Amino acid sequence: MIQAFGLTSNSRKDLPPAVDDVSFEAPAGRVTALLGAPGAGKTTALRLMLELQQGRGLTYFKGRPLHRIAHPSREVGVLMGEVPGHPARTVRGHLRMLCAAAGVPVRRAEEVLEVVGLVSLRDERLGTLSRGMDRRLGLACALLPDPHTLVLDAPADGLSTRESHWLHGMLRAHAAQGGTVLFTTAEPKEAARAADHVITLEQGRLVADQAAAEFARTRLRPRVAVRTPHAARLAALLAKEARTAHRSVEVVREGGNRLSVYGSTCADVGETAFRHGVLVHQLADEIGDMGPGAGPFPGEIAEAAQEVRAGVTGPEPGELVGNEAVGVAGTAVRGGQAHDNPPTPSGSHLRGERAVPADRRAPGDQTAHCSPDPGSAQAAESGDTALSPATVSGAHAPLPPLPPPISVRSAPSPLRPLRYELRRAAGIGTGFLTAAAVLVASAFTAALLARVGHTPQARLLAAWPRELPLPPAALGAGLLGALAFGDEFRHPALAADRGTVPRRLGLLTAKLAVATVAALALAFLTVGCDAEVLYLVYGRELTEVPADWPALSVSWFGLVAGCAWSGVLAAGVFRSTTAGLAAVVAVPVLVVPLVQRALEGASVRAATGLPARLREVFLPQWPFGGERYLVGAVRVIAQPVGGALALSLTALLCAYLLTTLRSRVR
In angstroms, the CA 102 to CA 108 distance is: 11
For the segment 580-603, what is each residue's pLDDT rounded down to a tens digit? 888 888 887 777 777 667 666 545
Q: What percent of the chain has pLDDT over 90?
A: 38
pLDDT at residue 377, rounded to an integer:
39
Predicted confidence band at 354 (pLDDT cuts at 50, 70, 90)? very low
pLDDT at residue 413, rounded to an integer:
75
Mean pLDDT of 43-55: 91
In angstroms, the CA 203 to CA 525 distance is: 62
Backbone angles phi, psi at 289, to 5 degrees: -80, 130
Mean pLDDT of 354-369: 37
Strand 197-202 to 282-289 pairing: unpaired
**How high does pLDDT run on average in the chain?**
77
Nearest to 420 by CA among 481, 477, 494: 494
Predicted confidence band at 109 (pLDDT cuts at 50, 70, 90)? very high
pLDDT at residue 571, rounded to an integer:
87
For the segment 167-190, what is each residue's pLDDT rounded down to a tens digit? 999 999 999 999 999 999 999 989
pLDDT at residue 466, rounded to an integer:
83
pLDDT-wise least confident of 393-397, 486-490, 521-525: 393-397
Nearest to 464 by CA among 347, 555, 581, 562: 555
Q: What H or E segment, with its residue span, contains residue 168?
A: helix 161-176
For the segment 215-268, what is each residue's pLDDT rounded down to a tens digit? 887 788 788 999 999 999 999 999 999 999 888 888 888 878 899 898 888 999
Backbone angles phi, psi at 208, to 5 degrees: -160, 145
pLDDT at residue 601, rounded to an integer:
54
| Identity of the highest mean pLDDT range in 138-142, 404-408, 653-657 | 138-142
What SS3 state is found at 579? helix
Check whether 392 has a pLDDT greater than 80. Answer: no
pLDDT at residue 328, rounded to an integer:
33
Residues 6+ apart with CB under 8 A from 569: 580, 583, 649, 652, 653, 655, 656
In angstroms, the CA 249 to CA 106 distance is: 60
pLDDT at residue 286, rounded to an integer:
79
For the segment 462-482, what is each residue's pLDDT rounded down to a tens digit? 898 888 888 999 999 999 999
pLDDT at residue 382, rounded to an integer:
39
Mean pLDDT of 510-528: 94
Higher pLDDT, 328 or 454: 454
**pTM score over 0.85:** no
For the segment 614-645, what is each residue's pLDDT rounded down to a tens digit? 555 544 555 555 555 555 555 555 566 666 77
Catalogue all structural domains in the chain, each as residue range(s) with its CATH number.
2-203 (3.40.50.300), 218-295+317-338 (3.30.70.980), 417-665 (no CATH)
pLDDT at residue 589, rounded to an integer:
78
Q: Is the dihedral of CA 46, 50, 55, 59 positive or negative?
A: positive
In angstroms, the CA 351 to CA 117 distance is: 41
Higher pLDDT, 7 or 302: 7
For the segment 257-309, what is each residue's pLDDT rounded down to a tens digit? 899 898 888 999 999 999 999 999 999 887 766 544 343 333 333 333 333 22
